[in-house]
């Protein structure tokens, strides 16, 4: 999948990383760098850095890094080729012909086409005799034909092959239908059959208008009640949201987070186009960060049952950590949004709007829920409630907001505000100590590699790995040193297989007259790229001289000369005797 070097350099030149990233992240200048809140994990203090000098980014919070292509791959959930196409289109560049393998890109395109054709097929089936059960169900849920058409709702009949036969007639192969998860292979390997049967179908559409997946509700009393497309080359459940394509165009910077498809559609029909839902999974940090791109505030509108309340508590934490303001709807009489709107007939939209407008923020919701657990009419109950309430208030970052809740609680329960605030400050200090300890543990684990999932060999041989890492970074930053390094050190002397791959890769590129980092997005995985930029940021802060370079090489050679258990087991008796004799001689 190799593009010409000149094309990639032009692509990056025309897609300045600061300009590209600023479309997704609010950046501010800090010295020579630009900083902002990371779009890939929740944080309150900016740790996401743009290095304008070399066109790279790195987040010190989550360890994600790369170049402008890597950024687009991650933020838009695209593979390498489609990210290059995305940036080329943005810059008005033509892709070079016959210079890349576009097999995955072509498969993704075929899956998009198959999904679009399947959505049309399901919609048409809904209005045929075989789809009567599905249409009756949707009408019974008070959905109009206009709403059904707007969301492209459909029906998968009870046949095992209706969709497969239709899509085959449109030229799609069995392998493409399986890749799209529209079909499943028979266990005996002979042929395929429809994945969705006897279900009302909900197309899932991405922010660019592509049908990427489906959800289906069974019409019979069977499990699972809802079946969703599994992850495919164009779809990942944990990074998409139902109806975000509608919500992003609603004109509101507030999103209403519902529990399921029907709630979103009912709320939408009631006049709230800013409603979204997760896709058969609990809310993820990735989905929260996706919402952050289109909203400043999220109103959680989950069911009032126990499962819904647990999901609400979990979602509050995830959304808050993503930097979003949170409010929580408490629907009267324990109804879900769809049921509540329908129960009010023609007044449903107005009644739901009143509920939305009067809902409190997440702190008020948590305090109200907490209070129900204690009898505040007695002293012990009052104390227990206030101690737990202080924990909630101490987690608020704004002193002004803390003061407001302290005033409210002290007035409500007849205590001195100063006493409550002292408890809050005490917990504040404890939280800060725990945070500092956590940060120190992370720093230590980063340095010794104990939690490193990518560079796992570092902790086994820290001395040689550290020298190898520093040497690779030195070579990237000083390409003119590559030949000298190559003369002094061969790749077989490296103990760390990942760093050895980096070394061979960058040495070959430099000796071929190429820029070291131009094509890394094509040649390494996202995690390997992030690890590389972590190392570049770590070791580039230390001035690396020719003398330091030679010291790194000496350490690598010294460590390589030491015998490991594997080396000892493979040595002949004579080789082992000679080695022992050398050791004795060196000690004299």
Kindly provide the b/e burial profile for residues 7-35, where b requires at least 16 CB atoms within 10 angstroms of the residue's own CB: bbeebbeebebbebbeebbebeeeeebbb
Residue of 50, 59, 58, 44 lying closest to 16 (CA atoms): 50
Residue 224 corresponds to which tokens in the numbers above? 């699972």
pLDDT given for residue 190 in this prediction? 83
Q: Which CATH class is domain 104-235?
A: alpha beta
Q: How far apart are CA 449 and CA 525, in angstroms?
A: 19
The helix-helix angle for 132-140 and 103-126 (nearest 10°) equals 80
Residue partners of 235: CB distance under 8 A and separation at least 6: 181, 204, 212, 213, 229
pLDDT given for residue 330 in this prediction? 84
Q: Which CATH number describes the domain made up of 462-587? A: 1.10.860
CB 126 within 8 A of CB 155: yes
CB atoms closer than 10 angstroms to residue 446 = 15
The helix-helix angle for 68-75 and 526-540 (nearest 10°) equals 130
Secondary structure (3-state) at 140: helix
Q: How far apart are CA 394 and CA 84, in angstroms?
A: 46
CB 307 within 8 A of CB 334: no
Per-residue CA distances from 128 to 156, 197, 201, 202 (Å):
11, 15, 14, 17
List pLDDT tens digits, range 412-437: 999 999 999 999 999 988 888 887 88
Residue 308 corresponds to which tokens in the numbers above? 């819904």
Quote the strand ranges of 318-466, DSSP E.
325-328, 360-361
Q: Tens place of pLDDT for every residue, the chain, 588 residues?
A: 578 899 999 999 999 999 999 999 999 999 889 999 999 988 888 999 999 888 999 999 889 999 999 999 999 888 898 899 999 999 999 988 766 667 888 899 999 999 999 999 999 999 999 999 999 999 999 999 999 999 999 999 999 999 999 999 999 999 999 999 999 999 887 899 999 999 999 999 998 899 999 999 999 888 889 999 999 999 999 889 999 999 999 999 999 999 999 999 999 999 999 999 999 788 998 999 999 989 999 999 998 888 888 899 999 989 988 889 999 998 877 778 999 999 999 999 999 999 999 899 999 999 999 999 999 999 999 999 999 999 999 988 889 999 999 999 999 999 999 999 999 999 988 888 887 887 677 666 666 655 667 788 888 888 999 999 999 999 999 999 999 999 999 999 999 999 999 999 999 999 999 999 999 998 999 999 999 999 998 888 777 799 999 999 999 998 888 755 555 666 677 766 776 666 566 555
Are domains 104-235 and 244-361 of this chain identical in fold?
no
Q: Structural domain boundaries of the chain?
A: 5-91, 104-235, 244-361, 373-447, 462-587
Which phi and psi angles does 536 have, rounded to 5°?
-60, -45
Beta bridge partners of residue 217, listed in sequence order: 200, 226
pLDDT given for residue 77 in this prediction? 85
Q: Which CATH number describes the domain made up of 5-91? A: 3.90.580.10
Instruction: Tell me: cis bond preceding 224? Omega within 30 of 0 counts.
Output: yes
CB 255 within 8 A of CB 295: yes
Residue partners of 238: CB distance under 8 A and separation at least 6: 281, 284, 286, 287
Per-residue CA distances from 38 to 58, 272, 290, 539 (Å):
9, 29, 12, 22
Per-residue CA distances from 41 to 44, 318, 445 (Å):
10, 10, 19
Q: Which CATH class is domain 244-361?
A: alpha beta
pLDDT given for residue 303 in this prediction? 85
Q: How far apart are CA 393 and CA 388, in angstroms?
A: 9
Q: How far apart are CA 228 and CA 89, in angstroms?
A: 32
What single-letter DSSP state applies at residue 541? T
What single-letter DSSP state applies at residue 494? -
Q: Which helix (H) or strand (E) holds 118?
A: helix 103-126
CB 71 within 8 A of CB 17: yes
Written as one string, the DSSP assignment of 149-193 is HHHT-EEE-S-SSHHHHHHHHTT--HHHHHHTTSEEE-TTSS-EE
């Amino acid at each position: 999948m190799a593009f010409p070097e000149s094309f990639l350099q032009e692509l990056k030149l025309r897609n300045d990383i600061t300009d590209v990233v600023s479309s997704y992240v609010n950046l501010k200048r800090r010295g020579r760098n630009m900083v902002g809140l990371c779009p890939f994990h929740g944080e309150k203090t900016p740790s996401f850095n743009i290095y304008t000098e070399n066109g790279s980014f790195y987040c010190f919070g989550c360890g994600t890094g790369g170049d402008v292509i890597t950024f687009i791959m991650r933020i838009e959930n695209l593979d390498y080729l489609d990210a290059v196409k995305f940036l080329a289109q943005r810059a008005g560049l033509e892709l070079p012909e016959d210079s890349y393998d576009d097999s995955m890109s072509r498969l993704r395109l075929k899956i998009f086409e198959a999904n679009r054709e399947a959505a049309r097929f399901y919609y048409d089936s809904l209005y045929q005799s075989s789809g009567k059960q599905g249409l009756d169900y949707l009408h019974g849920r008070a959905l109009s034909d206009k709403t059904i058409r707007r969301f492209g709702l459909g029906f998968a009949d009870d046949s095992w092959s209706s969709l497969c036969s239709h899509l085959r007639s449109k030229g799609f192969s069995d392998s493409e239908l399986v890749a799209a998860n529209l079909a499943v292979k028979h266990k005996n390997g002979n042929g395929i059959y429809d994945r969705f049967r006897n279900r009302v179908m909900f197309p899932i559409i991405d922010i660019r208008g592509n049908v990427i997946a489906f959800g289906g509700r069974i019409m019979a009393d069977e499990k699972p009640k809802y079946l969703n497309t599994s992850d495919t080359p164009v779809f990942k459940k944990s990074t998409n949201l139902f109806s975000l394509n509608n919500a992003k165009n609603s004109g509101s910077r507030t999103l209403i987070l519902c529990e399921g498809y029907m709630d979103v559609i009912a709320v939408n029909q009631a006049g709230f186009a800013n409603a979204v839902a997760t896709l058969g999974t609990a809310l993820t940090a990735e989905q929260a960060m996706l919402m952050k791109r289109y909203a400043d505030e999220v109103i959680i509108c989950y069911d009032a049952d126990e499962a819904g309340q647990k999901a609400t508590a979990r979602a509050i934490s995830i959304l808050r950590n993503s930097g979003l303001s949170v409010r929580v709807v408490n629907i009267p009489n324990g109804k879900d949004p769809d049921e509540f709107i329908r129960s009010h007939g023609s007044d449903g939209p107005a009644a739901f709007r009143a509920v939305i407008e009067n809902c409190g923020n997440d702190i008020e919701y948590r305090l109200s829920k907490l209070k129900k657990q204690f009898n505040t009419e007695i002293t012990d109950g009052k104390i227990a409630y206030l101690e737990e309430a202080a924990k909630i208030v101490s987690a608020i970052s704004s002193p002004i907001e803390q003061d407001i809740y302290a005033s409210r609680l002290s007035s409500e329960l007849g205590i001195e505000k100063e006493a409550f605030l002292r408890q809050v400050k005490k917990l504040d200090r404890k939280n800060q100590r725990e945070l500092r300890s956590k940060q120190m543990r992370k720093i230590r684990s980063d340095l010794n590699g104990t939690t490193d999932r990518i560079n796992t060999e570092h902790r086994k041989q820290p001395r040689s790995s550290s020298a190898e890492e520093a040497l690779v970074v030195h070579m990237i930053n000083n390409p003119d040193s590559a030949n000298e390094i190559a003369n002094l050190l061969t790749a077989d002397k490296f103990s760390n297989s990942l760093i050895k791959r980096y070394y061979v890769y960058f040495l070959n590129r430099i000796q071929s007259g190429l820029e070291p980092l131009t094509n890394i997005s094509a040649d390494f995985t996202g995690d390997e790229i992030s690890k590389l930029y972590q190392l570049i940021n770590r070791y580039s802060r230390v001035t690396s001289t020719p003398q330091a370079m030679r010291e790194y090489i000496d350490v690598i050679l010294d460590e390589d000369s030491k015998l490991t258990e594997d080396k000892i087991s493979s040595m002949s008796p004579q080789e082992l005797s000679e080695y022992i004799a050398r050791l004795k001689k060196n000690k004299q």
